[in-house]
């Protein structure tokens, strides 16, 4: 087997480490997995994106130790194992990561799907809808000149950056809902698409809210599709999102982004008139609505053509009609450029400020 040997410090953690401490390292490594080892680097467990999602949905505290949520019997292979055996192991057990161990059960490396199967990009048939009809008033005065989807990130507008994130994972069929300054968006893609992907448009005559434009979609949307706001970038595996959506039998799935909020003060815990303790600048973690959704066609039947509808109201309506609504927890990067400060932070994160 030939692959680039990985820096084990970036993908290993001790069992006693807190989830809140290990998550940033996992996200930075970008492999959607951490190998849990003892101090001699002997493997004791593995933590994948799926383990973290299940833990978040159970409402576990972010200070939980890795030993409490890790998988304790991961599939492994010994050094020198034939590539065909590894390939069969991954296919038979539907796994994407296989630790490579020596005779003392110490981690030598980590094998990923791309090491075993190559960098084959799956072609996706699901359509992607980008909701770009809003006026972007929170970004005024920028949006007095350009519509929000055309706000630049480097040398490309945000809407194109979003599309390229999807296209990099095999998606090639996009529909953009337009409203404010729609002609600028149409003209840009007429001149710059280069046939990389299919782009269609729906036009809002009047602002229809964050979900109303879905009522303008034609009958071609008869299969599962993805909806994304035009002012967010999510570093996630959309194939895994779709698989999660289908495995859980959801009609609508919200991608929930894990966000940490720090209270900049000492928080007092009081019992009657007595101080119990002071928690200095505590951190709290919440799953927030990222602005990315997976929908089944039956949800479109809840949206009246030409009527104003906000996405939270559509979600409530789906639940009232007995449709299953789920949440896909995401702990990786999520950038929201809907306000000036978030836009500046996104520029810094993308190293585009000079």
Q: Are residues 90 and 157 in the same domain?
A: no
- Inform me whether the pLDDT recorded for 151 exceeds 70: yes
Q: For 225-235, write each residue's pLDDT tens digit.
A: 999 998 888 88
Q: For 77-107, write each residue's pLDDT tens digit.
A: 888 888 788 888 888 888 888 888 988 889 8
Per the domain annotation, does 3 fall within a domain?
Answer: no
Per the domain annotation, does 201 fall within a domain?
Answer: yes
Report the length, in residues, of the chain.
354
- Inform me whether the pLDDT recorded for 144 exceeds 80: no
Q: Are residues 301 and 189 in the same domain?
A: yes
Report d(CA 23, CA 33) in Å as an integer: 10
If pLDDT is split at 50, 70 and 90, which confidence band does 340 have? low
Three-state secondary structure of the chain:
CCCCCCCHHHCEECCCCEHHHHHHHHHHHCCCEEEEECCCCEEEEEEEHHHHHHHHHCCCCCCCEHHHCCECCCCCEECCCCHHHHHHHHHHHCCCEEEEECCCCEEEEEEEHHHHHCCCCCCCCCEEEEEECCCCHHHCCHHHHCCHHHCEECCEEHHHHHHHHHHCCCCCEEEEEECCCHHHHHHHHHHHCCCCCEEEEEECCCCCCCCHHHHHCCCCCCCCEEEEECCEEECCCHHHHHHHHHHCCCCEEEEEEEEEEECCCEEEEEECCEEEEEEECCEEEEEEEEEEEEECHHHHCCCCCCCCCCHHHHHHHHHHCCCCEEEEEECCCEEECCCHHHHHHHHHHCCCCC
Per the domain annotation, does 354 fall within a domain?
Answer: no
Report d(CA 51, CA 62) in Å as an integer: 13
Per the domain annotation, does 122 fall within a domain?
Answer: no
Least confident of 17-26, 292-301, 332-341: 332-341
- Inform me whether the pLDDT recorded for 247 exceeds 80: yes
Cis peptide before 258 (omega within 30 of 0): no
What is the domain count for the chain?
A: 2
- Inform me whether the pLDDT recorded for 2 exceeds 60: no
Q: Are residues 53 and 176 in the same domain?
A: no
User: What pLDDT is recorded for position 4?
Assistant: 57
353's tokens: 């400020």
* Among 117, 137, 159, residue at a domain's last position: 117
User: What pLDDT is recorded for position 303?
Assistant: 92
Q: Which domain holds residue 103?
A: 8-117
Report d(CA 315, CA 319) in Å as an integer: 6
Helix axes 158-167, 182-192, angle to 10 degrees: 50
Top-confidence residue, 311 or 218: 311
Report d(CA 52, CA 69) in Å as an integer: 8
User: What pLDDT is recorded for position 300?
Assistant: 92
* Among 91, 117, 143, residue at a domain's last position: 117
Report d(CA 315, CA 289) in Å as an integer: 12
User: What pLDDT is recorded for position 256?
Assistant: 93
Report d(CA 145, CA 130) in Å as an integer: 21
Report d(CA 336, CA 39) in Å as an integer: 39
Q: How many CA atoms lie within 13 A of 292 on its CB side?
A: 27
Per the domain annotation, does 204 fall within a domain?
Answer: yes
β-pairing, 152-153 vs 198-203, is unpaired
CA 341 to chain centroid, in Å, comes to 21
If pLDDT is split at 50, 70 and 90, which confidence band does 20 have? confident
35's tokens: 């190998």
Q: Are residues 33 and 173 in the same domain?
A: no
Q: 325: domain CATH number?
A: 3.90.550.10
- Inform me whether the pLDDT recorded for 164 exceeds 50: yes
Q: Are residues 14 and 133 in the same domain?
A: no
Percent of the chain with pLDDT over 90: 24
* Among 72, 94, 117, residue at a domain's last position: 117
Q: Are residues 340 and 244 in the same domain?
A: yes
Per the domain annotation, does 13 fall within a domain?
Answer: yes
User: What pLDDT is recorded for position 248?
Assistant: 95
Per the domain annotation, does 2 fall within a domain?
Answer: no
Q: Are residues 80 and 196 in the same domain?
A: no
CB 298 within 8 A of CB 288: no
Report d(CA 337, CA 345) in Å as an integer: 8
Q: Burial letters for 216-233: b for 16+ Cβ neighbours within 10 Å, e otherwise? A: bbeeebeebbbbbbbbbb
- Inform me whether the pLDDT recorded for 3 exceeds 70: no
Q: Are residues 139 and 47 in the same domain?
A: no
User: What pLDDT is recorded for position 77?
Assistant: 86
Q: 80: domain CATH number?
A: 3.10.580.10
The answer to whether the pTM exceeds 0.85 is no
CB 47 within 8 A of CB 70: yes
């Amino acid at each position: 087997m030939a692959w680039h040997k990985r820096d084990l410090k970036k993908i290993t953690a001790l069992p006693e480490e807190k989830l809140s401490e290990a998550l940033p390292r996992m996200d930075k490594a970008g492999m959607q997995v951490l190998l849990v080892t003892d101090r001699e680097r002997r493997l004791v467990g593995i933590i994948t994106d799926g383990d973290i999602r299940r833990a978040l949905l159970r409402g576990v505290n972010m200070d939980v130790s890795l030993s409490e949520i890790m998988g304790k019997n991961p599939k492994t292979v010994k050094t020198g194992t034939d590539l065909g055996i590894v390939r069969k192991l991954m296919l038979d057990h539907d796994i994407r990561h296989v630790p490579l161990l020596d005779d003392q059960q110490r981690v030598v490396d980590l094998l990923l799907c791309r090491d075993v199967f190559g960098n084959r990009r799956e072609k996706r048939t699901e359509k992607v809808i980008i909701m770009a009809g809003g006026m972007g008033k929170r970004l005024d005065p920028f949006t007095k000149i350009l519509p929000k989807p055309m706000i630049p990130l480097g040398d490309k507008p945000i809407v194109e950056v979003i599309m390229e994130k999807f296209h990099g994972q095999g998606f090639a069929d996009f529909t953009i809902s337009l409203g404010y300054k729609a002609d600028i968006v149409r003209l840009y893609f007429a001149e710059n698409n280069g046939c990389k992907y299919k782009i269609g448009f729906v036009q809002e005559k009047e602002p229809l809210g964050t979900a109303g434009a879905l009522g303008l979609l034609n009958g071609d949307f008869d299969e599962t599709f993805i909806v994304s706001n035009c002012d967010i970038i999510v570093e996630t595996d959309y194939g895994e999102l779709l698989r999660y959506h289908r495995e859980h039998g959801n009609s609508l799935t919200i991608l929930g982004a894990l966000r940490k909020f720090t209270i900049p003060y000492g928080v007092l815990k009081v019992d009657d008139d007595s101080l119990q303790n002071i928690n200095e600048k505590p951190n709290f973690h919440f799953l927030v609505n990222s602005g990315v959704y997976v929908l089944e066609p039956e949800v479109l039947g809840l949206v009246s053509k030409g009527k104003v509808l906000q996405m939270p109201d559509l979600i409530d309506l789906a639940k009232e009609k007995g449709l299953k609504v789920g949440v896909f927890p995401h702990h990786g990067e999520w950038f929201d450029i809907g306000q000036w400060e978030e836009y500046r932070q996104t520029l810094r994160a993308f190293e585009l400020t000079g």
